[in-house]
Chain A
Amino acid sequence: MDAYFYIILVVGLLSTVTCVVAGILKKAPNDVTILSVAAVELALVVYLVGSIVRVIAGEPIAGEAWEFWGYLATAMLLPPAAVYWSILERTRWSNFVLAAVGVTALVMAARMNQIWY
């Protein structure tokens, strides 16, 4: 597991906890929960840029390269999709949808690390 994974681990868990707590408190999605999911997206962008730099620098991906990029691309689609959905229906349940993004990104980052090394 590398630094990119741990960044997503921390940001993802914080985002999930924030959104779950907001959902339990019966709040509709607000700036805090949406920004926490945006932070997950930002962490994924950092992972993306870092990975591109590493590949250009000549570091090999141990597993299937396209599998790695597939995971990364899919993970990056999740936060915008969840935010879009939470805007369509502003109820507490949308906070739980937002909460799902953090853990999913975390699991996917773990898998991406396995593929890379």
Chain B
Amino acid sequence: MNDQQSTSAAGSRAAAGRRDTRNTGPGRLLIAVYAVFAISASARAGYQILTKFSEAPLAYLLSAFAALVYVVATVSLAKAGSTWFKVSVAAVLVELVGVLVVGALSVFDPVAFPHETVWSLFGRGYGFIPLLLPVLGLVWLYRRRPGQGNGTVKGAP
């Protein structure tokens, strides 16, 4: 059960002492950026749905979904424990798939996706940060996977 512990490559990071948290160091920056996206995406989706939902229901529902994913990612990254780790992985993977699929769809079908979701055109309206964020998120989650420290849960891939 603990056989990984001694061979863990985490050495310099002193990961053992805070093995099940992802909210320190670089993780803090990640959470901060996620929080900004959670707030802005929620506000934007709320505004779109309240004022002009009938114009493009699909795109605005997608906006709301994206906002929800960012909220879940922000909260789960800030929480300790292996359950929240799994929630984080799920949220970040959904985000990655979302930005890729919606990004591609918005290029090929600009009518259904009038470039007004966070993920449209691979997040170009937001400096491509929506595309970059899930990748950095996965890297961070991999480096802080629970199995590294206490051996209770096997890490992602």
Contact = CB atoms under 8 A, between A and B. Distances in A.
Interface in A89-117: 89, 91, 93-94, 96-97, 100, 104
Interface in B26-62: 26-29, 32-33, 36, 39-40, 43, 47, 51
Interface secondary structure of A, over-half rule: helix
A100 B33 contact: yes
A74 B39 contact: yes
Interface residues of A, number: 15
A85 interface: yes
B36 A96 contact: no
A104 B129 CA distance: 12
Given A67-B47, A70-B43, A93 B26 contact: yes
B24 A97 contact: no
A104 B39 CA distance: 12
Contacts of A94: 28
Interface secondary structure of B, over-half rule: helix
Nearest to A99: B29
B38 to A, nearest CB: 12
B17 interface: no
11 contacts: A74-B39, A78-B36, A89-B24, A91-B25, A91-B28, A93-B24, A93-B26, A93-B27, A96-B26, A97-B29, A100-B29
B32 A82 contact: yes
Contacts of B47: 64, 67
A67 B26 CA distance: 32
Nearest to B33: A100
Given A91-B24, A91-B25, A97 B43 contact: no
A100 B32 contact: yes
Contacts of B26: 93, 96
A67 B29 CA distance: 27
A101 B124 CA distance: 20
A102 to B, nearest CB: 12
Q: Which of A70, A78, A91, A96 has the most CB of B within 10 A?
A: A96
A85 B51 CA distance: 35
A89 B36 contact: no
Contacts of A82: 32
Contacts of B29: 93, 96-97, 100
B134 to A, nearest CB: 17
Contacts of A97: 28-29, 32
A91 B47 CA distance: 37
